[in-house]
């Protein structure tokens, strides 16, 4: 029902800005309740939540990426975009866009993803 498609360059040079766009279908990114997020997985490592933009437009970022990450949206195109500046080879990963929602467990809030894009490989190399 809900499908997400990532798009953007698969190769980025060090110090440049990584830019990816996600185009969901079957659901508006302005629909109440949901958060539209980016998650990545470096080779041999665990999934890492990067950040999200809520249906009402507020952004949330992983503090480890704060200062480098920016998530924006174009509601007319039903798209949201990830920008990660000053990339290094450690930013090489498979990048996923997802639909998510907030759950509370143990007195803390978490983002839970229910629909995922297929993922896109981004390599940072000169």
> Tell me: the pLDDT tens digits for 37-84?
999 999 999 999 999 999 999 999 999 998 999 999 999 999 999 999
Mean per-residue pLDDT for 8-23? 98
Res. 18: pLDDT tops 90: yes
The whole-number pLDDT of residue 66 equals: 87
**Angle, alpha carbons 124-112-37 (nearest 5°):** 40
C-alpha distances out from residue 111 to 1, 12, 103, Å: 21, 28, 6
pLDDT per position as a tens digit, 83-118: 999 999 999 999 999 999 999 999 998 889 999 999
CB of 36 closer than 8 Å to CB of 80: yes
pLDDT recorded at residue 110 = 87
Exposure string over 109-126, b if 16+ CB within 10 A, otherwise e:
eebebebbbebbebebee
Gyration radius of the chain over CA positions = 14
Backbone angles phi, psi at 89, to 5 degrees: -55, -25
What was the pLDDT predicted at 10?
Answer: 97
């Amino acid at each position: 029902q809900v499908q997400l498609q990532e798009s953007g360059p698969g190769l980025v040079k060090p110090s440049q800005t990584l830019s990816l766009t996600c185009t969901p279908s079957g659901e508006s990114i302005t629909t109440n309740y949901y958060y539209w997020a980016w998650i990545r997985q470096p080779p041999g490592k665990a999934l890492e939540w990067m950040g999200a933009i809520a249906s009402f437009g507020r952004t949330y970022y992983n503090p480890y990426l704060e200062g480098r990450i920016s998530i924006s949206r174009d509601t007319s195109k039903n798209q949201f975009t990830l920008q990660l500046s000053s990339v290094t080879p450690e930013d090489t990963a498979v990048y996923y866009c997802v639909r998510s929602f907030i759950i509370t467990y143990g007195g803390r809030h978490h983002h839970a993803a229910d629909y995922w894009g297929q993922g896109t490989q981004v390599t940072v190399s000169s």
